[in-house]
Amino acid sequence: MAGKSKILIIGGTGYIGKFIVEASGDLYDHESLVKAIKQVDVVISTVGYFQLNDQDKIVAAIKEAGNVKRFFPSEFGTDVDHVNAVEPAKSTFGHKAQLRRLVENTGTAGCRNSAKGQDCYLRRRECKREEDIATYTIRAVDDPRTLNKIHYIRPPANTISMNDLVSLWEKKIGKTLERIYVPEEQVLKNIQEPSTPLKVRLAIAHSVFGFCEGRSDKLRDRAILWSGGIEPLS
């Protein structure tokens, strides 16, 4: 893309959205949404949990407007096509995967961010600041290498397990903490006890730190964003 793109961000009150910019455009007013989209080149959706299923309205408005070069759906976590999760996170990821297929089928140029990774054997994940995810999102807007790619934001030095975190904290405070290991059966039971959205957050945490049996590692159309730039993968 030549020059800087004009960007419309929808969902600025969502968890990641507030770290990017205040939103413009009304998700539930088709005419105003189309009008707003016609003034920009790129649409970034940062809607929260309760609006994830309504992102098809954005795709419909983008299709009618006919001028958008890129659409970033509200995906700033686990790669929803390659994850094992329990309910209610399973349904949440399923809705996001359905939106991916909708974007692909309508021919909309898209980009997706995956900011959470996992190692199935060590149950480790990468720790990142929300501000960094927001920065990478904006940087990806005008980079031709990121078009129709999944962006894996996984700095190797930030990969850590819960045991690693506890050990670091013990070193910092100079004390040895008691570690209580909870069986997965109890964890799964605990996930279902609270109300939404806490239940969703616990289920997502389980999918990231928990067991990964049956997880597919066949990743496609991907690009990794490191601190030094963007490295496309074949």
Q: How far from 44 is each of 20, 61, 106, CA to CA, in Å?
A: 10, 13, 17
Task: Report the sign of the C-alpha dihedral through residues 167, 79, 224, 52, in that order.
Answer: negative
Q: Does the pTM exceed 0.75?
A: no
Per domain, the residue ranges of the chain are 7-232
What confidence score (pLDDT) does residue 1 get? Answer: 42
What confidence score (pLDDT) does residue 222 get? Answer: 35
Across 167-195, average pLDDT = 90
pLDDT band at 23 (very low <50, low <70, confident <90, very high): very low
Residue 221 neighbours by CB distance under 10 Å: 12
Structural tokens at position 213: 């049996």
CA angle 198-202-203, nearest 5°?
Answer: 115
Structural tokens at position 191: 């996930």
Phi and psi, residue 7, nearest 5°: -120, 135
Identify the residue with better confidence: 175 or 228.
Answer: 175
**Spatial contact of 75 and 115, defined as CB atoms under 8 Å apart:** no
What confidence score (pLDDT) does residue 104 get? Answer: 87
Partners of 42 in beta bridges: 7, 70
Walk across the sheet containing 42-45 and list its strands. Answer: 7-10, 42-45, 70-72
What confidence score (pLDDT) does residue 125 get? Answer: 66
Structural tokens at position 28: 């539930």
- Count Cβ neighbours within 10 Å for each residue of 34-65 and write b for 16 or more, e otherwise: bebbeebbbbbbbbebebbeebebbbebbeeb
Burial class (CB in 10 A: 0-12, 13-18, 19+), 165: exposed
What confidence score (pLDDT) does residue 207 get? Answer: 84
Task: Report the sign of the C-alpha dihedral through residues 33, 23, 52, 213, in that order.
Answer: positive
**pLDDT 10s digits, 153-170:** 777 777 887 788 889 999
Using CA atoms, how far apart are residues 153 and 77, in angstroms rounded to an integer?
9
Q: Is 79 helix (H, G, I), strand (E, B) or coil?
A: coil
What confidence score (pLDDT) does residue 22 get? Answer: 42
**pLDDT 10s digits, 103-155:** 888 887 766 666 554 333 234 566 777 888 888 888 888 888 888 888 887 77
What confidence score (pLDDT) does residue 165 get? Answer: 84
Across 195-206, average pLDDT = 87
Architecture of domain 7-232: 3-Layer(aba) Sandwich (3.40)
Average pLDDT, the chain: 76
What confidence score (pLDDT) does residue 2 get? Answer: 52
Structural tokens at position 190: 């605990």
Catalytic residues: 96
Structural tokens at position 27: 């998700």
